[in-house]
Chains A and B, each alone.
Chain A
Amino acid sequence: MRPNRLFRTSVFRLTVLFALLFVGCVFLLFGTIELYASRTLEAGVQATVSARLAGLIGAEPVTTPHLLGAADAAEQQGQGAYILLEDWTGTRLAGNLPAVPPVTGWLRLTVTNNGARIPVIARGVRLLDGGYLLVGQDASRIDEVRAVIARAFALGGAVTLVFAIAAGFLFSRRILRRLAAVGRASQEIMQGDLSRRLPARGTGDEFDQLLDGFNALLDRISVLMESVRQVSNDIAHDLRTPLARLLQRLEDVRRRLRSPVEYEEALDRSISDAYSILDTFAALLRIAQIESATGRDRFEEMDTAELVTIVAELYGPLAEERAQTMTTEATSARLLGDRELLIQMLGNLVENACRHSPPGAHIRIGSAARDGGRLFWVQDTGPGIPEAEREKVFRRFYRLEASRTTQGSGIGLSLAATIAARHGGRITLLHASPGLRAEVWLPAD
């Protein structure tokens, strides 16, 4: 990584921010401790000075001559004690401090002693006769302690800084690595790999939750894309054939002059062809609409037995036409769903049963509560569907070889499966010996 790219990365910025924050904290701590320590030490020195001053002048008013002896004695005391006595003219009379202008109150001086500069904290008082007494104490301890504190903090701060940088780097890299992985994955998805998903770690943290949300979004998008793709494929493959047939017929009629009856017949057949093409088209669109629909605002409560009854009522005539019998065996149970879609779903199954069973066949439609949901079945005594074909019949326009000649577009089962899926259920085809049994299981709500 080149340096200027490094500076632009979030890792770098976060690390610097982290380090600055740590160092700032260390400085704040250092400042507080330093301030308190030097204040406390200074107060101690001042107490010593005050005590010594009190020892010299006592409670009574004193004059310069009184103090000459005492000052000498105090000077001899050592232990960093300093004293200065001046008369009213400012002439130095005694003591181990250089002459200073007579300033009363606390003051700080620097004394040179054997080449070493010693800080002194002192207090000056005016005497009754105009003399001046200054008592001081060596304060170099304070500076020593402060230097120790500063050294300790410099070292501690340096270590902290190193840790802060390391922690900041690791911490930000961890987060940013995951972000980068997400970024890479989304790049790949955008480039067309719609099956790719964002890498969740499975820990269930906020980050994972976010990714799960995005993944769910992607799932939905690919379902929709697949649906669109499927519809365009279906249209391309399966609407072309009947359209081509229609065109052929029209062109054929046009080739030579025909009788009005022939024209009429050709027109009638063409119109009916056009309608059946439109029916197929509508069914395809309907599947696409159902597949892409979400939400349950069209769901209502209904009774399974009523549903079975109405389907039997609607499709009874079809069985009758084909000399087949139809019976219902429905138990009443509550169900939440789209009434019209469910009627259409069961209707398609019944229609299949009727169309693919021979005259005289018996068709049973029923419902029952099962596995916490509702089970519907449509059973016939027809030829059934070979095991190997059972999955394929749900494909759009798929038709068994044996049923090529029977009426139908090959879209009914596919629509039924779509409707079942829309309700969170599924269709299973079973062998009924003899015949086929189509079972639809739907969750109750």
Chain B
Amino acid sequence: MRILVIEDDPETLNYVSDRLSEIGHDVTRAASGREGLFLAGGGSFDLLVVDRMLPAMDGIGIVATLRAARVETPVLFLTTLGEVGHRVAGLTAGADDYLAKPFAFAELAARVEALGRRSRSLTDTMALRVGDLELDRGARSVRRAGQPIELLTREFQVLEFLMHHAGQVVTRTMLLESVWDLHFDPRTNVVDNYVVRLRAKIDEGRSTELIHTVRGVGFMIRAPE
């Protein structure tokens, strides 16, 4: 994925860029808002990782300018100790996701992956499919190998999000944000609990497991190879 990182703090810039390169992305660095805007204006990137607070031209200014120029490259904001109000402002300006510093790199990687996939092509289909697992959004029904599986609302929402991002790591915070609409860490195993329940309903007694735990990061659903 071609990623442009716009960040004025050289240490964070190097850390983020190096780590993203390590996991196989093609990273371009911009140390100022102006430079970043100039590069992003070309529109040849799959994703922009933008520091929310930049001298001279801040993240919101960059996103607003890009969106006004019809550059629809997805944007992930990085911010210091995220305040909810700031997050709202960032998302209103046209950013697609928001991550508060300090963050675990795995969290950033998962979100980058999720956004990148979205930019490539994600037609909002009514039916999601992973291996022999099918989820029908309209009928709110789930089948595995043709057999219906009964899910509680929350379980369905968690599964839907996982399947939406099939093949990608989904972190606990991503699930908390999108399924529970919470932007703080309740410090409980609530997400794991739901995944455990889903696993019991979907994978137990089957020859292939679809739901996987990615240690220390989150979960992933993927079709067997």
Contacts and interface: CB of A to CB of B under 8 A. Distances in A.
Interface in A158-203: none
Interface in A340-396: 340, 343-344, 347, 351
B83 A317 contact: no
Interface string A294-309: 0000100000000000
Interface stretch (B31-39, B57-65, B133-141, B183-191): B183-191
A317 B188 contact: yes
A313 interface: yes
Given A278-B102, A321-B189, A351-B187, A314 B81 contact: no
Contact of B84 (A278, A282, A298, A321): A298
A344 B184 contact: yes
Contacts of A347: 186
Interface string B142-185: 00000000000010000000000000000000000000111111
B22 to A, nearest CB: 18
A310 interface: yes
A344 B84 CA distance: 13
Contacts of A314: 180, 182, 186, 188, 190
B190 A317 contact: yes
Contacts of B184: 340, 344
A318 B189 contact: yes
A281 interface: yes
Contact of A282 (B81, B85, B181, B193): B81
A332 interface: no
A17 to B, nearest CB: 52
B187 A340 contact: no
B182 A317 contact: no
Contact of A340 (B102, B183, B193): B183
A200 B184 CA distance: 44
Most buried by B among A275, A317, A343: A317
B192 interface: yes
A443 interface: no
Contacts of A320: 193
B192 A317 contact: yes
B200 to A, nearest CB: 15
Given A340-B182, A340-B184, A343-B182, A313 B81 contact: no
A119 interface: no
- By size class, the interface of chain A is 20 to 34
A403 interface: no
A310 B189 contact: no
B191 to A, nearest CB: 9
B60 to A, nearest CB: 18
A316 B84 contact: no
A295 to B, nearest CB: 10
Given A289-B83, A340-B183, A344-B184, A313 B189 contact: no
A85 to B, nearest CB: 108
A266 B192 CA distance: 27
Interface in A391-429: none
Contacts of B192: 317
A285 interface: yes
A316 B183 CA distance: 19
B189 A317 contact: yes
Nearest to A281: B81
A367 to B, nearest CB: 19
A99 B41 CA distance: 113
B81 A316 contact: no
A285 B79 CA distance: 14
Given A289-B83, A298-B85, A316 B190 contact: yes
Contacts of A281: 81
A88 interface: no
A314 B193 CA distance: 10
Contact of B180 (A289, A298, A310, A315): A310
A313 B190 contact: yes
Nearest to B104: A275
Contacts of A351: 187-188
Contact of B81 (A275, A285, A317, A318): A285
A282 B83 CA distance: 10
Given A314-B182, A317-B188, A340-B182, 17 more contacts: A281-B81, A298-B84, A298-B85, A313-B154, A314-B180, A314-B188, A314-B190, A315-B186, A315-B188, A316-B188, A316-B190, A316-B193, A317-B189, A321-B189, A339-B181, A343-B182, A351-B188
Interface of A: 275, 278-279, 281-282, 285, 289, 298, 310, 313-318, 320-321, 339-340, 343-344, 347, 351
